[in-house]
Chain A
Amino acid sequence: MIKLENVSKSYDGITNVVENLSLTIAEGELIVLVGESGCGKTTTMEMINRLNEPTRGDILIDDINIKDLDKNSLRKNVGYVIQNVGLFPHKTIEENISTVPRMCKKNKHEISDKVKELFKVIELPYEEYAHRYPRELSGGQQQRVGVARALANDPDIILMDEPFSALDPITREQLQEELLRLQDELNKTIVFVTHDIDEAIKIGDKIAVMQDGKIVQYDTPENILKTPVNEFVEEFVGKDRLWKTPEMLSAKDVMLDPIVEIGPNRSVAQAIEVMKKRKMTVLAIVDSTAKKPHKLLGLVGANRFYGIFDNSIKMKDIMKTELNKIPSDMPLNEVMELRTEKKIHTSAVVDENDGLIGFITDTSILNVLNEIMPESEDY
């Protein structure tokens, strides 16, 4: 676990590049520091391997104050990947990858095994690439080697400073995917710096949005998108962000929550009355004896009342019980697929206990899409 406690950094003694920043990074988490250039994100990251020393405040790694550690041995145990790759051009790929373990004077066989393993991890054939020089590799391959080099000494923590920003979009996307895969396998604690909010959302377990040396919001990508704490964050992530990433929307974000519920023992006449009054064509039949959210029993649409004049018929007798209940955290795209596939117009959204919490109708989806749609021209 990495803990930054009230950390400030000033280069000139007047202005703080990083101001009174506190941040806790749990083990195995990939957190992204994101912000515009000059917001202090790189400085913050570089304080973790002491490339920058904080002016005030403390940084603890597993409860050890890094001030008490030897700088260079700290750095040998914290992987470091930078933007312009920073491979040593005069050394072969194998030499590059094995740099830190060799500095630590590890056993030669151990190093060579580790290097071969890392070649597999980054999916480069060892025989073909081990003895090549960095300039003979493409940008994407070079950055893969950069990542392998950072992993060579088995660090628990890896710092990545805009590692993919110089790559073309396709390669960048590939490497992001690979990083996520790697993270699943190796479970390192990764601090990733980027100015690219798309990248942050894509790879981060958590995102720290920074502005003027402070963290404005530190939360999961979903929460940052849905509930930005202020205008800056909203502006930064982009108002149309949810539009571009509909998979971030889930059922509960598009549902209508004023629900018209009615008990299972109500008669048809009573139901029609409620429908008229609330201008609804579908009612939810719930077990209203327990507390809210009430357990959903079935749905009744107005069409079910045709030809029924017997007032002794209760809702429970005619309600539809085979329902496609939608869990509240189902992603919007799956909701849409389900609705298309089953030709549903009104679906009930339930919590984990089958309690009814909302409805998704065609209108509710349109409303949400309209809300998150980027401002478009007038027609």
Chain B
Amino acid sequence: MELLTYISENWPLIMEKVLEHLSLSVTAVLLACLLGIPVGFLIVNNKRLAKVVINIANIIQTIPSLALFAFAMPIFGIGSKPAIFALFLYALLPIIKNTLIGIRNVNPATIKAAKGMGMSKFQIMFNIEVPLAISVIMGGVRIATVTCIGITTIATLIAAGGLGDLIYQGLGMYNVEMILTGAIFSALLALAADFILGIGEKLLTSKGIVKED
């Protein structure tokens, strides 16, 4: 009950934190899409390069998030910039990897048929590969988004704001309601984002494709 009272009394603050949280994660994921998806397409035909890129992204993924925020600070100072940068790096791996997998899973016969019908490389990419890989690519975006929303809670430590503020302040003051509010809302945010992206994925995927779960 006290939790509900806290939430209703602090609604404007909570919403502000939710928006901050969202803008950090979404900006990072969008940037990662802008870079990651084209990179995926560019390296798909070069196995060695693909391996190198995936390895780099893997290494980034293994760096603890707090450490990555710390690394970003000397370059970008404190605030949202280093946070977005670090989140962006985290989002890259699932997006590049899923783009690669998505394109590689396109039946070679389909590509060959398209080529034999006189489609240019670009036409093949936009008319065949993207639509066929879109559900897998979207899967990567979903994973990246959920991960980023989770990690953004730590971004409070480099003064980037977000729901982490509530959790850490709550911890400092031993205010359980505050802690729980931060935790619950970040979890809800992740669930909601995943749900919405799931709908987007469905809308973008042709009815002709059955997704294998």
Is A86 in contact with chain B by the CB < 8 A criterion?
yes
Expressed in whole angstroms, the Cα–Cα distance for A145 and B52 within the complex equals: 41
Interface string of A68-95 (1 = CB under 8 A from B): 0001111110001011111111111000
Is B117 in contact with chain A by the CB < 8 A criterion?
yes
Please state if A49 and B116 are interface contacts (CB–CB under 8 Å).
yes
Expressed in whole angstroms, the Cα–Cα distance for A73 and B113 within the complex equals: 15
Tell me the chain B residues, 104-134 only, with Cβ under 8 Å from chain A: 107, 109-110, 112-120, 123, 127-128, 131-132
A73 contacts across to B, CB distance below 8 A: 118
Is B203 in contact with chain A by the CB < 8 A criterion?
no
Which of B120, B128, B206 has most chain A Cβ within 10 Å?
A: B206
A146 contacts across to B, CB distance below 8 A: 113
A86 contacts across to B, CB distance below 8 A: 107, 109-110, 112-114, 116
Is A126 in contact with chain B by the CB < 8 A criterion?
no
Interface string of B177-213 (1 = CB under 8 A from A): 0000000000000000000000000000111111000
Expressed in whole angstroms, the Cα–Cα distance for A100 and B114 within the complex equals: 9
Report the count of interface residues on B (CB-CB < 8 A): 23
Which of A74, A80, A85 has most chain B Cβ within 10 Å?
A: A80
**How far in angstroms is the closest Cβ of chain A from B118?**
3
**How far in angstroms is the closest Cβ of chain A from B50?**
23
Please state if A83 and B109 are interface contacts (CB–CB under 8 Å).
yes
A72 contacts across to B, CB distance below 8 A: 118-120
Interface string of B141-169 (1 = CB under 8 A from A): 00000000000000000000000000000
> Within the complex, which residue of B109, B127, B132, B206 is in contact with A85, where a contact is CB–CB below 8 Å?
B109
B113 contacts across to A, CB distance below 8 A: 80, 82, 85-88, 146
**How far in angstroms is the closest Cβ of chain A from B207?**
6
Expressed in whole angstroms, the Cα–Cα distance for A99 and B119 within the complex equals: 10
Please state if B208 and A90 are interface contacts (CB–CB under 8 Å).
yes
**How far in angstroms is the closest Cβ of chain A from B22?**
32
Name the CB-closest residue of B to A91.
B208
A92 contacts across to B, CB distance below 8 A: 208
Expressed in whole angstroms, the Cα–Cα distance for A254 and B176 within the complex equals: 102
Interface string of A57-77 (1 = CB under 8 A from B): 000000000000001111110
Is A120 in contact with chain B by the CB < 8 A criterion?
no
Size band of the interface chain A makes with B = 20 to 34
Please state if A74 and B118 are interface contacts (CB–CB under 8 Å).
yes
Expressed in whole angstroms, the Cα–Cα distance for A103 and B128 within the complex equals: 13
Is A372 in contact with chain B by the CB < 8 A criterion?
no
Expressed in whole angstroms, the Cα–Cα distance for A89 and B207 within the complex equals: 9
A304 contacts across to B, CB distance below 8 A: none
Is A213 in contact with chain B by the CB < 8 A criterion?
no
**How far in angstroms is the closest Cβ of chain B from A143?**
12
Please state if A51 and B115 are interface contacts (CB–CB under 8 Å).
yes
Please state if A135 and B210 are interface contacts (CB–CB under 8 Å).
yes
> Within the complex, which residue of B118, B120, B132, B208 is in contact with A133, where a contact is CB–CB below 8 Å?
B208
B123 contacts across to A, CB distance below 8 A: 103
Given contacts A51-B112, A135-B208, contact A90 B117 (CB under 8 A): no
**How far in angstroms is the closest Cβ of chain A from B96?**
22
Given contacts A83-B109, A84-B109, A133-B206, contact A89 B132 (CB under 8 A): yes
> Within the complex, which residue of B112, B120, B206 is in contact with A90, where a contact is CB–CB below 8 Å?
B206
Tell me the chain A residues, 125-173 only, with Cβ under 8 Å from chain B: 133-135, 146, 149, 159
**How far in angstroms is the closest Cβ of chain A from B177?**
49
**How far in angstroms is the closest Cβ of chain A from B114?**
7
B110 contacts across to A, CB distance below 8 A: 86-89
The 10 closest A-B pairs by CB, nearest first: A86-B113, A133-B208, A75-B118, A90-B206, A80-B116, A84-B109, A76-B118, A72-B118, A86-B109, A90-B131
Q: What are 28 pairs between A and B in contact, CB < 8 Å?
A: A51-B116, A72-B119, A75-B115, A75-B116, A75-B117, A80-B113, A84-B109, A86-B109, A86-B114, A86-B116, A88-B110, A88-B114, A88-B127, A89-B107, A89-B132, A89-B206, A89-B208, A89-B209, A90-B205, A90-B206, A91-B206, A91-B208, A100-B118, A103-B118, A103-B119, A103-B123, A133-B208, A134-B208
Q: Which residues of A contact B (CB under 8 A)?
A: 49, 51, 71-76, 80, 82-92, 99-100, 103, 133-135, 146, 149, 159
- Sample of 4 more A-B contacts, CB < 8 Å, known A72-B120, A86-B113, A149-B117: A88-B127, A90-B206, A103-B118, A146-B113
